[in-house]
Amino acid sequence: MSELKVTAIKEGTVIDHIPAGKGLKVIQILKLDKLDGGALLLAANVHSKKLGKKDIVKIEGRFLSEEEVNKIALIAPSATVNIVRDYKVAEKFQVGIPEEISGILKCANPNCVSNHEYTTPKFYVISKEPLKVRCHYCERTMEEKEILANL
Binding residues for Zn(2+): 107, 112, 135, 138
- E strand intervals along the chain: 12-19, 40-48, 52-60, 80-85, 88-94, 100-102, 122-128, 131-135, 141-143
The window from 67-75, 76-84, 108-116, 129-137 that contacts ligand CTP (CB under 6 A) reads 76-84
What own/partner pairs with CB < 8 Å and gap ≥ 24 does 1-5 have? 3/47, 5/43, 5/46, 5/56
Instruction: Build a one-symbol-per-residue string for 6-45: x at contacts with ligand CTP by CB under 6 A, - elsewhere.
Output: --xx----x-x-----------------------------
Report whether 93 contacts 80 (CB < 8 A): yes
* Bridge partners, residue 57, by sequence: 15, 42
Minimum gap (Å) between residue 18 Cβ and ligand CTP:
11
84 binds ligand CTP (CB under 6 A): yes
Query: CA 15 to CA 25: how far, in whole Å?
Result: 12
Provide, rounded to whole angstroms, the least separation between the CB of residue 56 and ligand CTP.
5
Known binding residues: 107, 112, 135, 138
Handedness of CA 137, 73, 68, 30 (dihedral sign): negative
Closest distance to ligand CTP from the beta carbon of 40 (Å): 12
Is residue 56 a contact point for ligand CTP (CB under 6 A)?
A: yes
| C-beta of 89 vs 149, nearer to ligand CTP | 89
Contacts with 138 (C-beta within 8 Å, 6 or more apart), sequence order:
107, 109, 111, 112, 113, 114
* Residue placing its CB nearer to ligand CTP in the complex, 23 or 121: 23
Instruction: Give me the residues that bind ligand CTP (CB under 6 A), please.
Output: 1-2, 4, 8-9, 14, 16, 56, 58, 80, 82, 84, 87, 89, 92
